[in-house]
Amino acid sequence: MTPTHTLQLHSTVHEDRTVTLALVEADLPAPGPDEVVVRMEAAPINPSDLGVMFARANMSTVVRDDSVAAHAVRATLSREAMQGAAGRIGLSLPAGNEGGGVVVATGTSEVAKALLGKVVSIRGGAMYAQYRCIAAQECLVLPEGTASVDAASCFVNPLTALGMVETMRMEGHTGLVHTA
Given a contact cutoff of 8 angstroms between Cβ atoms, the answer to whether 112 and 26 are in contact is: no
Is the per-residue pLDDT at 59 higher than 90? Answer: yes
CA angle 18, 24, 28 (to 5 degrees): 140
Q: How confident is the model at residue 69 (pLDDT cuts 50, 70, 90)?
A: confident
Tell me the CATH number for domain 5-171.
3.90.180.10
Helix residue ranges, H only, the chain:
47-54, 79-85, 110-113, 148-151, 156-170
Report the alpha-carbon distance of residue 83 to residue 100 in Å, rounded.
Answer: 34
Which pLDDT score is estimated for 34? 98
- In this predicted model, which residue has the larger pLDDT, 40 or 178? 40
Q: What is the mean pLDDT of the chain?
A: 94
- The 10s digit of each residue's pLDDT in 12-43 is 999 999 999 999 999 999 999 999 999 999 99
Q: How confident is the model at residue 180 (pLDDT cuts 50, 70, 90)?
A: low
Report the alpha-carbon distance of residue 176 to residue 180 in Å, rounded.
Answer: 13
Using DSSP's 3-state secondary structure scheme, residue 7 falls into: strand
What sign does the dihedral 118-28-33-125 (CA atoms) show?
negative
- The 10s digit of each residue's pLDDT in 81-137 is 999 999 999 999 999 999 999 999 999 999 999 999 999 999 999 999 999 999 999
In angstroms, how far is CA 75 from the centroid of its own chain? Answer: 20
With a pLDDT cut of 90, the percent of the chain lying above it is 83
Report the alpha-carbon distance of residue 4 to residue 105 in Å, rounded.
Answer: 11
The Cα-based distances of 42 to 69, 78, 178 in angstroms read: 23, 32, 27
pTM of the predicted model as reported, rounded to 2 decimal places: 0.88
Which pLDDT score is estimated for 1? 80
